[in-house]
Amino acid sequence: MAHSEYVTFTEKGLFTVRRTDKAWSGIWSDMTIEQTLMRVLKTGAQSATHGRSVSDSVLSRFVIDVGMSYAYDVMDQLQSFAKSICASSDQHTDVTSARQKKDKEDVESFKSLFQVHGIFDDRPGKLMSLSTGLVADSTVDCHKAVEKGLESISKMVGVDAVSYKCSKKNCVKTLASIKLVCIIDNEPTTVNTSLLFQRIVAAMINNKNLVKTALLHELASFPMSLFNDKGLMKKSNKS
Instruction: Quote the pLDDT of residue 47.
Output: 57
- How many Å apart are CA 66 and CA 209, to the nearest integer? 70
Please, which residues have CB within 8 angstroms of residue 117's CB and are 6 or more apart in sequence? 216, 217, 218
- How many Å apart are CA 155 and CA 164, to the nearest integer? 9
Q: What crossing angle do the helices spanning 193-203 and 208-215 adopt, rounded to 10°?
A: 160
Q: Identify whether the C-beta of residue 192 lies closer than 8 Å to the C-beta of residue 229.
A: yes
> In terms of Cα–Cα distance, which of 167, 170, 172, 168 is closest to 145?
172
**What's the alpha-carbon Rg for the chain, to the nearest Å?**
28
Instruction: Quote the pLDDT of residue 129.
Output: 76
Q: Identify whether the C-beta of residue 41 lies closer than 8 Å to the C-beta of residue 47.
A: yes
For the chain, the 3-state helix, strand and coil shares in percent, each to the nearest 5, are 50, 5, 45
- The mean pLDDT of 125-131, rounded to a whole number, is 75
**Stronger pLDDT, 108 or 63, i.e. the higher one:** 108
Instruction: Quote the pLDDT of residue 23.
Output: 67
Instruction: Quote the pLDDT of residue 48.
Output: 56
Element (H, E) at 105: helix 97-117
Would you say residue 45 has pLDDT above 60? no
Confidence bin at 104 (pLDDT 50/70/90): very high
Element (H, E) at 23: none
Instruction: Quote the pLDDT of residue 105.
Output: 92
Would you say residue 73 has pLDDT above 80? no
> In terms of Cα–Cα distance, which of 176, 179, 165, 180 is closest to 142?
176
**Percent over 70 (pLDDT), the chain:** 66
Instruction: Quote the pLDDT of residue 183.
Output: 77
DSSP state of 171: S
Would you say residue 223 has pLDDT above 70? no
**Stronger pLDDT, 113 or 20, i.e. the higher one:** 113
Confidence bin at 137 (pLDDT 50/70/90): confident
Would you say residue 144 has pLDDT above 80? yes
Phi and psi at residue 174, to the nearest 5°: -100, -175
Q: Distance of CA 29 to CAs 17, 48, 55, Å?
A: 6, 22, 28
Confidence bin at 95 (pLDDT 50/70/90): confident
Cα of first residue to Cα of last residue in the chain, in angstroms, is 64
Range with lowest mean pLDDT among 26-35, 39-48, 200-209: 39-48
Instruction: Quote the pLDDT of residue 62.
Output: 64
Pairing of β 27-28 and β 187-190 = unpaired
Would you say residue 207 has pLDDT above 70? yes
- How many Å apart are CA 205 and CA 115, to the nearest integer? 26
